[in-house]
Amino acid sequence: MKPINKVFLELLVIISSVFIFRGLWLLLDTVVIFNSKEFFAISLLIGITFSGIAFKKLRNTC
């Protein structure tokens, strides 16, 4: 595969993931439980935990 095709496909994946994220965000806004302060705090802690694990594993593989 040509490098320009690979770059184009990677850009396509990034752009399409933005639309998927936006759609999921709007869908979750309609659910009442996801609009509470407790859920925001829990989701923040989950996000920090998973990103910390991912960064640690990425740092160890390089």
Report pLDDT digits (tens) over 15-46: 999 999 999 888 888 888 878 889 889 989 99
- More confident call, 20 vs 1: 20
Q: CA 35 to CA 29: how far, in whole Å?
A: 7
- The Cα–Cα gap between 47 and 25 comes to 15
5 vs 19, which has greater pLDDT?
Answer: 19
The pLDDT of residue 34 is: 79
What gap in Å lies between CA 23 and CA 29, rounded to an integer?
Answer: 10
Whether the pLDDT of residue 62 is over 70: the answer is: no
On the CB side of 59, how many CA atoms lie within 13 Å of its CA? 6
How far is the C-alpha of 53 from the C-alpha of 62, rounded, in Å? Answer: 15
What is the distance between the alpha carbons of residues 17 and 10, in angstroms, rounded to a whole number?
11
